Amino acid sequence: MFKMRNVIISLATLFIVNIFIQQGKCNFAFKRRAYTKILGFSWENCGKSGDPVVTKILEVSPDPISVPGDLNATAAASTAVELAAPLSLNVTLDKDVAGFWVKVPCVEQLGSCDYSDACELLDSLIPPGQDCPEPLHTYGIPCHCPFKAGEYSLPPSEFHIPDVDLPFWLTNGKYKVEGILGNKGQELGCLKVSFALHST
DSSP secondary structure letters along 46-96 = -S-TT-SEEEEEEEEESSSEEESEEEEEEEEEEESS-B-S--EEEEEEEEE
Is 188 within 8 Å of 8 (Cβ atoms)? no
Q: What is the model's pLDDT at position 127?
A: 92
User: For residue 98, what are the CA distances in angstroms to 51, 78, 102, 151?
Assistant: 34, 37, 10, 41
Give kind and range of the element (H or E) at residue 9. Answer: helix 7-10
Closest CA to 120 of 80, 88, 78: 88
Q: What is the pLDDT of residue 34?
A: 55
CATH number of 7-199: 2.70.220.10
Average pLDDT over residues 79-98: 96
Distance CA 90, CA 84 (A): 16
Lowest mean pLDDT among 46-60, 68-82, 120-134, 155-169: 155-169
Residue 25 has pLDDT above 90, yes or no: no
Question: Between residues 7 and 128, which one has the greater pLDDT?
Answer: 128
pLDDT score at 109: 81
State phi, psi for 153 to the nearest 5 degrees: -145, 145
| 132 and 140 Cβ atoms separated by less than 8 Å | no
In this prediction, residue 166 carries a pLDDT of 73
**What are the C-alpha distances in Å from 32 to residues 29, 126, 144, 164?**
10, 26, 32, 8
- pLDDT given at position 30: 40
Average the pLDDT over 122-129 and give the result: 91
The pLDDT score that the predictor gives to residue 17 is 39
The reported pLDDT for the residue numbered 66 is 93
pLDDT, mean of residues 164-179 = 85
| Every domain of the chain and the residues it spans | 7-199
Section 71-80 average pLDDT: 95
User: Lowest-pLDDT range, 56-65, 96-105, 121-130, 165-174?
Assistant: 165-174
